[in-house]
Amino acid sequence: MSQPATWSFLTNHARVLICIAQDPGVRLREIGEAVGITERAAHRIVGELADAGYVSRQRVGRRNRYAIRSDLPVPDPLARNQRVGDLLAVLTPAADSSSAAR
């Protein structure tokens, strides 16, 4: 019997996007727990995604609500012809990605 893989096909950035697509009101602490990174790393990644235009943040009370720009291309040379929304549709079939997209 083989051992479970200790690596992942997806980057932490992609995994953070998946968390946001599944719950646009997700907290950074929850993202960190789901992805297996610190809350500080989750904050850095969300900031990088926002700076690149893939995610926008809106303050709602004491929390942030995120929106994903699903129309943008996947930032990978091998998948450049795919949109972020296409990737999320495959990886989050139970999530309504249209509610997270703008």
E strands, 25-70, in order = 55-60, 63-68
Longest dimension (CA), the chain: 50
Region 5-25: what's the mean pLDDT? 93
Burial of 5 (0-12, 13-18, 19+ CB in 10 A): exposed
φ, ψ of residue 8 to 5 degrees: the values are -130, 150
Residue 92 · residue 22 · CB < 8 Å: yes
pLDDT at 94: 58
pLDDT 10s digits, 26-84:
999 999 999 999 999 999 999 999 999 999 999 999 999 999 999 999 988 888 789 99
Please determine, looking at this structure, whether the domain spanning 12-100 carries the CATH number 1.10.30.50: no
Ordered by start, the domain boundaries in the chain are: 12-100
Indicate if the pLDDT at residue 100 is higher than 50.
no
Q: Higher-confidence residue: 27 or 2?
A: 27
